[in-house]
Copies of this chain bind each other. A is one copy, B any other.
């Protein structure tokens, strides 16, 4: 049957510790070198818990089996060769102490509870330098076990029809994108993929059908397998943990919390320089980040490669950046603009048409690439929720994505002068 092509054949979902996003390694090295003893708790959130109770869908035994399997994995010699040999952003980007850290890594324990309301509590509490690596494989497992449950309730022919629909949709996207030759994108879909096998299939199709438009993938093991550019820089966990550590150390001194964000950018630049200097500005509001005297500052606006908006109104964001660059005499066409929030093909095309010739535009294309068989994907995340015992906070440019206890959110809004109330449903 058609669907058998995509069937996992009794193998575990996660087969390599490289089956994760490349940014876990770029961040991981910073964490390992600058914050080896910080303790961070990561927690799972299903943003659609009202609609879908995963605990009623995914059998606990299956989930434990897959998570346990990840704990048996180790980085192989060849995977460490691959990382050591990564030089697209900077010569010898991953240094020996970090590679030794990875070589010795066993994924730490997880804390899983099936709650009476049908939801799942899944947390990872330990050294930041170790439990950070759970984010992506745990999401990959949760998503694939959901797909597994959906498929189990179908007849053989319904499964075929489902995959046929996925192929049809992919073909439509390929056809649309092909008309916009300069439109390039990076495949960002690991965390919410339908399944490992499906993501691999999609990526392979994109490679072959849009060879000049697909410029890389965030998935390290697929980049390795297909010889694609491994892509990614950093995530919200960095600014969130930096801020929480400053808050904890100073009993929330506003200036210290703001200062922590500059420190994070300095640490990043110290480690990677220009090569990975793509800012992720929305953690405490992109306006606060970019405003004069704000976190980023004019000097970084000049020197950094660009930025990646990940929430809020991306058109407004793009227009603001172009205006700011011009205001300081920088040609925006030399700067990167990498939207990556809930993108679908028509939106990418619209953004490309608007911004393509005005700023160096490229896209991080995620869930809509890797999980579109016509069944709505679930918006789920695993985020740093505590750092050295203090709650972390994320505001983002969309308050529907905000995280943290209300009183702490209030403090962060004050510290960063965040006065927007923009709120929009998370589609992915």
What is A's interface to B at a CB cutoff of 8 Å?
Answer: 76-87, 91-92, 96, 223-229
Interface contact A78-B225, CB-CB below 8 Å: yes
What CA separation (Å) do A229 and B81 show in the bound complex? 11
Report 28 cross-chain contacts, Cβ distance below 8 Å, ordered by A residue: A76-B227, A77-B227, A77-B228, A77-B229, A78-B82, A78-B223, A78-B224, A78-B225, A78-B227, A80-B85, A81-B81, A81-B82, A81-B83, A81-B84, A81-B85, A81-B86, A81-B87, A81-B224, A82-B82, A82-B85, A83-B85, A84-B84, A84-B85, A84-B87, A85-B85, A85-B86, A87-B96, A91-B96
Closest B residue, CB atoms, query A87: B84
A227: which of B79, B91, B96, B225 is its contact (CB, 8 Å)?
B79
Summarize A's interface: helix, strand, loop or mixed: helix
Closest to A76 in B: B227
Name the distance in Å between A7's Cβ and chain B's nearest Cβ. 20
Minimum C-beta distance from A400 to chain B (A) = 39
User: Can you name 7 extra interface pairs (CB under 8 A) apart from A80-B85, A81-B83?
Assistant: A76-B227, A81-B84, A81-B85, A81-B86, A82-B82, A84-B87, A92-B92
What's the least CB distance linking A95 to chain B, in Å?
A: 10
A83 and B81 alpha carbons, distance in the complex (Å): 7
CA distance A96 to B88 in the complex (A): 12
**In whole angstroms, what is the CA distance A87 to B85 when docked?**
10
Q: How many chain copies? A: 2
- A228 CA to B81 CA, complexed, in Å: 11
Residues of chain B lying within 8 A (CB to CB) of residue A228: 77
A82 to B92, CA, bound (A): 13
Within the complex, what minimum Cβ distance (angstroms) separates A82 from chain B?
A: 5
| Smallest CB gap from A83: residue in B | B85
> Please, how many angstroms separate the alpha-carbon atoms of A82 and B87 in the complex?
11
Inter-chain contacts of A85 with B (CB < 8 A): 80-86
With the chains together, A92 CA to B77 CA distance in Å?
15
Residue of B nearest to A227 (CB): B76
Contacts of A80 in B (CB 8 A): 85
Q: How far apart sit A225 and B81, CA to CA, in the bound complex (Å)? A: 12
- How many whole Å from A306's CB to the nearest CB in chain B? 23
Least distance between A227 CB and chain B CB atoms (Å): 4
Q: Which residues of B contact A78 (CB under 8 A)?
A: 82, 223-227
Residue of B with least CB distance to A78: B227
Determine the chain B residues whose CB is within 8 A of the CB of A81 once the complex forms. 81-87, 224
Closest to A91 in B: B96
- Which chain B residues lie closer than 8 Å to A83 at the CB level? 81, 85
Q: Which B residues are CB-close (under 8 A) to A79?
A: 227
Which B-chain residue is minimally distant from A80 (CB atoms)?
A: B85
Query: Which residues on B sit within 8 Å (CB–CB) of A77?
Result: 227-229
Tell me, rounded to whole Å, the shortest Cβ–Cβ distance linking A103 to chain B: 11
Residue of A77, A223, A227 contacting most chain B CB atoms (<10 Å): A77
A146 to B87, CA, bound (A): 41
Measured CB to CB, the nearest residue on chain B to A223 is B78
Specify the chain B residue showing the minimal Cβ separation from A82: B81
In the bound complex, how far is the Cα of B87 from the Cα of A92, in angstroms?
12
Q: Give Cα distance in the complex from A220 to B164, angstroms.
A: 39
Measured in the bound complex, the distance between the Cα atoms of B231 and A262 in whole Å is 46
- Shortest Cβ distance from residue A280 to the other chain B in the assembled complex, whole angstroms: 25
Report the minimum CB–CB distance from A77 to chain B (whole Å): 4
